Amino acid sequence: MTGESSECVDEQPARSRIRRWWAWAPLIGLGVAVLVGAVLWIAGRPGAAQVIWAAVTVAALAPALWSMLRQLWRRQFGVDVIAVLALAGALVVGEYLAGAVIAVMVATGRSLEAYAQRRATRDLRALLERAPRTARRRSADGTIEVVPLDRVAVADQLLVGPGDVVPVDGTVDEAATLDESVVTGESRLVQRAAGEAVASGVVNAGAGFGMRATRSAAQSTYAGIVRLAEEASAHKAPMVRLADRYATAFVPFTLVLAGLAWLFSGDVVRAVAVLVVATPCPLLLATPIAIVSGLSRVARRGVLVRDGGALELLGRARTLLVDKTGTLTAGRPRTAETVVAPGGDRDEVLRLAASVEQLSPHVLAAALVRQARARGLALTEPADVTEEPGRGVTGRVDGRLVRVGQLGGELPEWADRARARTELAGWSAVWVSDDGGPLGVILLEDPVRPDARRTVRRLRAAGLRRIVMVTGDRPATAAQVAEAVGVDDVVARCTPQEKVDRVRQEAERAVTVMVGDGVNDAPALAQAQVGVAMGATGANASADVADAVLTVDRLDRLADAVEIARYARRIAVQSATVGMGLAVLAMLAAAVGRLPPVAGAFLQEGIDVLVILNALRALRGGLRHRDVPPRTRELLARAAEEHAAVRDVLAGVRDAADLAATDPASPRCLPAVREAHRRLTERVLPHEAAEERQLYPALADPLGSGEATATMSRAHVEIRRQVDLLGAQLAQVDGRLRPDQVPDLLATLYGLDAVLRLHLAQEEEEFFTLDPAPERR
């Protein structure tokens, strides 16, 4: 953050402190006046005390009367009418102390409301206060200039100093250490390698680095978050409007009860007492406080909801429609497997493909380059690059002509098997070849999000009764994803208009939420009662029309938002119901003469404080999962990193199995199987043993029981048994494989491949998706 923006931010705390003190000034002034009146009464000067209490009553009556008249002018009939009648009645019958207590009660309610709203919206205000306003731009001659944020354009080279806020979305030119907690909610520092994307709003927690802007300030991530925060701060909760709807019944009931008390007793004081205890602060204050508290909490979890109305509807939702690509799946291709020609090198095939594709804007090209860099491969700048739409890219790498893309004509046997595997799995294939023919094929998948299945289970537990996946993808691929995540129904080959129609049909039966990320999801998001956009990875069009946006690329935050919304709504209704119920009982007591105005005023004050404090409970609680301790988070992160190495071993196991299945007499076959066994013994088994010894015991508390990892421990036993069996089978081989040894060897190799892949997927779904960031207070 530059000096100018830092100075602006430094002024904010002082202004905030002044506003906080000023918000309590009316309450302090009225409270001091009431105490002064009490001292005068004790000192034997009741006349002076009555004058002060009457003045306090008038001081509260004037703004209340003005507020009521403005409501009536706008043809709004609210519960403020009762407060005005109670204050005026106290003045008429000479119950000045009761009027003063009512005045303090109204001021207390307003002050508590202001405090609660400040507390509940502090995270939203923090977003606004720390928004960057300038950026350091590197000019063509190498000099650095500080420019206003709106002058930053796409492709500008920027410098982000230590402690600065990243001004716009872009890609880093060198390794960077970032604190992304404001945008994502994740508390630990994140390392970004050269070429990786970085979102605006995150903080540079390391040395300065250069970056290239990929979006303007107005289109960047943080600007969208700030817009949502401003909208969320500007809207009132629906319970406020609900309070005014309740007033249409409650106010006439109060006036009738007060009139009957006066009529049958002939004592107007009873009527005033009924009005005093009927002042409906619980309905006016407690319910919006709970809803606004919920808005703040979901913001801390990385979900920005536009207003209280959307949060309240989210808390009542019963049906969820969810898009597949980018929502239940990662939304971008990932290398699933690399199949090479006999004797080929898997890393070399990937390096050649990524080198040629470096300049291509295609989404599959980006996946290849990302995978190569993740594996630490040194890419070469290609020469003579040409791209043929629909066919692929051709270029020279180290003087060698390499083609990347589609492959036609007759295929060798290994390539034919790879193509069949690709079609069965629903993957995409990128073929790599040179003048001598195909070198290998890189199989790409759009993987199901590891947290998708757990999120679906949590959403069901939170009260969603029907979950439907809608996608434009093929039925076979859609069915695989639907089965993996556990939805109730799937609609494949769904056009944007059909998505809108489906949302409309579901909304007629129950409150419906639609979750999506793409431009084609925008109409359905707008049609749903609550539209939720995957803002971290999705299109601007979907975020612009959504009622809520997930600012972090984690689907489980949707479950957090639903749980918090239900909890906040439950607290809001509970506060209003209990508070108004106690007020009605007090009104009945006042109507029969058992509760004088002064005592009623003090009783109502206690009721107000009780329900408002209860409403503040919405700031905490409601989430069903447990936070993960820091040490356990470290173990989870380490295990997740080691999974990549285990998958490399699995690729070797699969290659050895395929070779044994197709050419067991080859001189390469037995060494390949022995190498696979060595890597299983030296890499996989130590990894499994470390998990059993350190990670699984640490997960007992977050998962609620040590039994939660029992099935995974059993998988460890089976993996070790299979590896030992493979070693025993190899020990029986003398020089070369005999035909009778091949079937058992294949069963063990393919069995290990299947068991390990399933085990890795289960760990990633059940354990690695546990929320790594505790809720920030």
Q: Which two tokens stand for residue 388?
A: 């043929």
Alpha-carbon span 13 to 9, nearest angstrom: 8
Query: How buried is 263 (Cβ within 10 angstroms: 0-12 exposed, 13-18 middle, 19+ buried)?
Result: exposed
HSE-CB for 341 with a 13 A CA cutoff: 13
Q: What is the SS3 assignment for 746?
A: helix
Residue 135, classified by CB atoms within 10 Å of its CB into exposed (0-12), middle (13-18) or buried (19+), is buried
Closest C-alpha to 577, from 603, 621, 614: 614
Write phi, then psi, for 438 (nearest 5 degrees): -65, 135
User: What does residue 301 show for φ and ψ, rounded to 5 degrees?
Assistant: -90, 5
Q: What is the dihedral of CA 202, 207, 208, 214, to 10 degrees?
A: -40
C-alpha distances in angstroms, 573 versus 295, 299, 611, 676? Answer: 16, 22, 11, 62
Rounded to 10 deg, the angle between the 669-679 and 710-731 helix axes is 140
Closest CA to 532 of 296, 248, 284, 328: 328
Structure tokens at 507: 């909304």
Residue of 357, 381, 378 lying closest to 369 (CA atoms): 357
Integer Cα distance of 551 and 513 in angstroms: 17
User: How many alpha carbons lie under 13 Å from residue 650 in its C-beta half-sphere?
Assistant: 21
Residue type, 760: L
Unique residue bearing structure tokens 């209003």: 576
Taking the C-alpha atoms of residue 56 and residue 553, their distance in angstroms, rounded to an integer, is 54
Count of helices and strands (H, E) across the chain: 29, 22
Collapsing DSSP to helix, strand or coil, 487 comes out as: coil
* Cα 22 to Cα 111: distance, rounded to the nearest angstrom: 10
Reference 753, options 645, 611, 628, 657; nearest CA is 657
Active-site entry in 179, 323, 655, 771: 323
d(CA 167, CA 200): 5
User: Which is nearest to 562 in space by CA: 457, 460, 462?
Assistant: 462
Q: Are 523 and 501 in contact (CB under 8 A)?
A: no
CA 630 vs CA 204, 555, 610: distances in Å = 22, 22, 36
- Residue 12 in contact with residue 34, Cβ under 8 Å? no
The rounded distance, in Å, linking the Cα atoms of 395 and 434 is: 10
In the Cβ-directed half-sphere of 531, how many Cα atoms lie within 13 Å? Answer: 24
340 DSSP β-pair partners: 440
Residue at token pair 């447990």 = 626
User: Is 323 an annotated catalytic residue?
Assistant: yes
Just list the catalytic residues. Answer: 323
